[in-house]
Amino acid sequence: MAEQTGEKKYEATLHRRQQARKQGQVARSQDLVAVALLFAGVSALLLVGDQAGGQLTWYANLTLRDSPSLDAEMTDVKNLLLRMGLVIAWIVAPLLALLLLVAGVMHLMQVGWLILPEKLNPDFRRINPAQGVKRLFSSQNLVRVVMGLAKMGVVMLVAFLALWQEREKLISVIDMSVSQIARYVLQVTLWTSLKIAAVLLLLAFFDFMFQRWKLEQDLRMTEQELRDEIKQTQGDPRLVQLRRMVHRQMVANRLATSVPTANFVVSNPTEIAVALKYDISKAGAPQVVAKGAGVLAQRIRRLALENNIPIVERKELARALYAEVEEGQEIPDKYYGAVGEVLKYVYELQGETADSLRRKRQAA
């Protein structure tokens, strides 16, 4: 029934997530960056606003005192405007750099590094009136309208509470000078804006978490979609199964050829098996001729038993050889001692002595 109704009961696969990301389908809050910029800008003005205002006041006094007369040449006016622009840029540039940094950080926190040049291409479907009307009266747009009204209510409530706390001081402004009134109104405005920005930042964070949850729901897959993706990425399941069968048969044939040539097998005790061969007539080190884990380890053990090859349980040695030595390679120097002990034990099981081994080596 779930398959017929198209119920999305499966989590999105990695391939589906990657394709959605390439198309720009990511979780992001439209308000988070804007509110973060508001919060950072107001905070910066509260921290360095007095200093920046003092510099602007000082330069304004200096400029007005030394301003050119009405009969001044155009060059003097241009120099004056240039100096004013440089001073304003010197004061405003750090604030703009801070806002640019905050915008970049918030974007990276939401979607990471994502560049979509194809989004710059013109798409006339976006300006289709029918689609626009459909989006205007969609349920998603209705939710946005409701959320916008709720945010306006929150802003008004926070502003009212902030101003209500200042009601006594607001009444006493009649006893202040004009400069004191301007300074006080500016401070109240900035602190009220900061409180509003903090509340909106919290709401924007919850909106981002909702967008992430909604994206996960949108990316969920039906059973048919999952089947189609498996067929697209891995091929026909019957062909995949056939390839696996052929691969297993090739591995089994290789083990059937290589394991009988081994002198002994090191195991752990059933999960890992490593078959080693040592040719006494050669000066080389013992060589790994076969290794495997799980089913392959059981296959190696079974072949060893069928060919009367000793199986020695050495857990740490088996793990190390399986992880570090490939088939056909000689063991590293650091394992000579451990493998030598196992080899000595195997020779003792086979009735070999040190003298007989020495004579075999000399004869070889």
Residue 288, domain CATH: 3.40.1690.10
- Going across the sheet that includes 272-277, the strands are 287-293, 272-277, 264-267, 311-313
Q: How many CB atoms lie within 10 A of CB 268?
A: 20
Q: Residue 68: its pLDDT value, please?
A: 52
Q: Residue 265, class by beta-carbon neighbours within 10 Å (0-12 exposed, 13-18 middle, 19+ buried)?
A: buried
For residues 69 and 205, state if they share a domain: yes
For residues 199 and 275, state if they share a domain: no
Q: Residue 275: its pLDDT value, please?
A: 92
For residues 86 and 178, state if they share a domain: yes
Q: Residue 1: its pLDDT value, please?
A: 39
Nearest to 241 by CA among 257, 256, 230, 255: 230
203, 228, 253: which is the final residue of a domain? 228
pLDDT mean for each 10 residues of the chain (364 residues): 58 77 76 83 76 66 58 62 72 80 82 66 62 62 76 84 80 73 78 85 84 83 77 65 72 84 86 87 81 88 90 90 89 88 83 56 50
Tally of domains within the chain = 2
Sequential DSSP letters for 245-258: HHHHHHHHHHHHHH
Residue 31 and residue 197 in contact, taking contact as beta carbons nearer than 8 Å: no
198, 228, 258: which is the final residue of a domain? 228
Residue-range definition of the domain harbouring residue 284: 240-363
173, 199, 228: which is the final residue of a domain? 228
Q: What amino acid is encoded at 276 in this protein?
A: L
Give the total residue count for the chain: 364
For residues 222 and 80, state if they share a domain: yes
Its pTM stands at 0.48
Q: Residue 121: its pLDDT value, please?
A: 63
For residues 217 and 280, state if they share a domain: no
For residue 235, is it within any domain? no
Q: Residue 3: its pLDDT value, please?
A: 43
